[in-house]
Structure 1
Amino acid sequence: MKVSVVMPAKNEAATVAIVVSAIRALYPDVEVIVVDDGSTDRTAALASEAGAKVVSHPYSKGNGAAIKSGARAAAGEVIVFMDADGQHAPADIERLLARIGEGYDLVVGARQQGSQASVGRGLANGFYNRLATYMTGHKVEDLTSGFRAVSADKFREFLYLLPNGFSYPTTSTMAFFRAGYSVAYEPIHAASRVGKSHIKPLKDGVRFLLIIFKVGTLYSPLKLFAPVSVLAFFIATLWYGYTLVMEGRFTNMSALLYTGSVMVFLMGLISEQITALMYKDKA
């Protein structure tokens, strides 16, 4: 099978040539594409000199936008996505491709203990994995890893769903599960990146909450909305029982909680139908 390696890169002049050269040395027949996302250094020139095909954005559009540009430009039947900052070992590509050869549509490089950039991000990723496992009913070992191999045709089916920011791994993984495609995980060790991360803790705190809702809405919104609805209904019943015993009446608060419970459930039901339409087969 023909393979393309796609690497989004923004100001990665310190490592991009090293990574590209290592890939080309190990896999001479593989197409290597570096998507320069509006770098202000020599990232594009160094990548080209090392033997990569370079796709350049005139300004920074985001990691997800770079992934989409690379996927559109790739000629391979299988696309391997990896970072250009030295975190991912080119030697691990072979193991991901071996799992694709076993019949999987998406193989994710699952970072092992000690591979997370910080304790906070490790805890956040652990929470994502547990939530995604609950939503899909399948064990999710690493929802946010950017090192992955995918069937190119199947990945392109979901380009319209992918955000332009950093949460493309979450979105694509949940989309593959929802569509009924086969997903596997291959253990890897991610090294510390060279240079400064482009992720901002405060800004990405909001992203943390958005990803939680995105995980739910991309797979089965009712699984996310139903527990909230049941909790509101339970609190309303407790409050109604308390006020009935203490005051002998049905209060406005009970009415508000019961109404909120029904509204949340109906929102989940409507979202479930909209999600189903998102994944309908294309004629």
Structure 2
Amino acid sequence: MSRLEITVLLPAKNEEIAIGSTVERILSLYPGAEVIVVDDGSTDNTGSIAEESGALVIRHPYSKGNGSAIKTGLRAATKDLVVCMDADGQHRPEDIGALLNKMSEGYDMVVGARDHEGQAGLHRCLANGFYNRFASWMVGHKIGDLTSGFRAVRRRKFLEFISLLPNKFSYPTTITMSFFRAGYSVAYVPITVLQRAEGSKSHINLWKDGLRFLLIIFKVGTLFSPLKLFIPISFSYLILGIGYYVYTFSVDHRLSSISVFLWSTSVTVFLIGLVSEQITQLLYKDR
């Protein structure tokens, strides 16, 4: 495994406590690996410590977000096989091997899936469970961990969707759903998540970033599988129109204009979804 040509990409912001040991452990396991640390506007010694530990460091002059750091690292990577992982000490470099072993079976992306013990609190575990189920319905495949940042992926296929990736923390959501919708092979392997290094803190805001995750699911779902969203909405208007018609007919023996409006809205929403579905096919005409 140590001879594999891989790039290990670590976005980092104020992670001077854990970054050095993380880089050293990666290089001890994979001496020939290209380790890229994207210093996302840190105000501590993250960049210099990463350099001293043997990583190639790319510095953002100010903080642009986790997703932006990933995009910067992907553009700079020289290997086709890229492993993305956190720099805060939670992801074990020893688990890289499990991802690479699965990749050797012909997968385009392998994601490290956390169990409930690896989630940062019950509230986040419940939220991630909801995101996983909702996104699984959107793409028609079981998604084991939608928000995990620990994954191995083929760089050239990752780059196909780089313009879609947000600059903040929801890049795993976007790339996971994009790969499934594009028909690429995605697998999940269980990983062990450690406690965050003492003194290191999460940069994710549960409510603000949780809402962003949900909006990203809708955005990517609308982009890649619009009928999954438009048909339920259209059907809801149809049922409401029928229900209101039954009510007005039983009370006043008449057809209400509201029922007509609901039915016409149902048809309009369905047609918009149908046209959107045809447009999405153009995204894949060269793939």
Report the TM-score range of the alignment, normalised by the length of the smaller protein.
over 0.9
1:75 paired with 2:83, answer no
Q: Distance in 2 between matches of 1:141 and 1:173?
A: 10
Secondary structure in 2 aligned to 1:83?
A: coil
Cross-structure match for 2:214: 209
Partner-residue secondary structure (3-state), 1:20:
helix
Q: After TM superposition, give the deviation of residue 262 of structure 1 in Å.
A: 2.0
Q: Does 1:118 align with 2:117?
A: no
CA contact (8 A) 1:135 1:219 kept: no
8 Å Cα contact 2:9/2:35 also seen in 1: yes
The residue that corresponds to 1:271 in the other structure is 276
CA distance in 2, matches of 1:137, 1:206: 22
Structure 1, 242-251 or 89-98: larger mean CA deviation: 242-251
Q: Cα distance, 1:218 vs. partner?
A: 4.0
> In the alignment, residue 50 of structure 2 is paired with which amino acid?
A
Tell me: CA distance 1:165–1:267, structure 2 relative to 1, closer, same or farther (3 Å): farther
**Residue matched to 2:99:** 96
For residue 37 of structure 1, what is the aligned residue in structure 2? 40
How high is the TM-score relative to the length of structure 2?
A: 0.93
CA distance in 2, matches of 1:280, 1:191: 43
Q: Which runs of 5+ in 1 are unaligned?
A: none
- What secondary structure, in the 3-state scheme, does the structure 1 residue paired with 2:42 have? coil
2:23 matched residue in structure 1: 20
2: CA distance between counterparts of 1:2 and 1:159? 22
Q: Give the match's secondary structure for 2:211.
A: helix
**Is contact 2:131-2:214 (8 Å) kept?**
no
| 1:251 matches 2:256 | yes
Relative to structure 1, is the Cα distance of residues 110 and 80 closer, same or farther in structure 2, using a 3 angstrom cutoff? same
Distance 1:42 1:267 in 2: 52
Q: Quick check: 1:178–1:218 contact (8 Å CA) kept in 2?
A: no
> Equivalent of 1:131, from 131, 134, 137?
134
- 1:16-60 deviations in Å (ceiling 9; x for gaps): 111111111111111100001111111111110110000111111
Quote the Cα distance in structure 2 between the aligned partners of 1:138 and 1:269: 22
Aligned partner of residue 35 in structure 1, secondary structure = strand
Equivalent in the alignment of 1:182: 185
The alpha carbon displacement at 1:147 in A equals 0.3
Q: Distance in 1 between matches of 2:109 and 2:172?
A: 11
Q: Distance in 1 between matches of 2:25 and 2:19?
A: 10
Distance 1:77 1:265, change over 3 A: same
Q: Deviations over 1:224-280 (max 9, x none)?
A: 211121111111101111101101222232123223222322232233233222333
* 189, 200, 207: which one aligns with 2:205: 200
Give 3-state SS (helix, strand or coil) of 1:39's partner: coil
SS in structure 2 at match of 1:114: helix
Candidates 193, 218, 232, aligned match of 2:237: 232
- Mapped to 2, the partners of 1:45 and 1:205 lie a distance apart of 32
**Equivalent in the alignment of 2:65:** 62
Contact 1:217/1:275 (<8 A) preserved? no
Partners of 1:113 and 1:205 in 2: CA distance: 17
Q: Which amino acid aligns with 1:112?
A: D
Choose from 37, 47, 50 the match for 2:50: 47
Judge conservation of contact 1:109–1:185 (CA < 8 Å) in 2. yes
List per-residue Cα deviations over 1:103-145 (Å, max 9, x = no partner). 1110000111211112222112111211222222222111111
**Equivalent residue letter for 2:10:** M
Larger deviation, residues 136-145 vs 77-86: 136-145
Structure 2 spans left out of the alignment, 5+ residues: none
Aligned 8 A contact 2:178 2:220 in 1:
no
Note the C-alpha offset of 1:178.
1.6
Q: Name the % identity.
A: 60
The answer to which of 77-86 and 160-169 deviates more is: 160-169
Asked if 1:171 corresponds to 2:170, the answer is no
| 8 Å CA contact retained: 2:68, 2:168 | yes
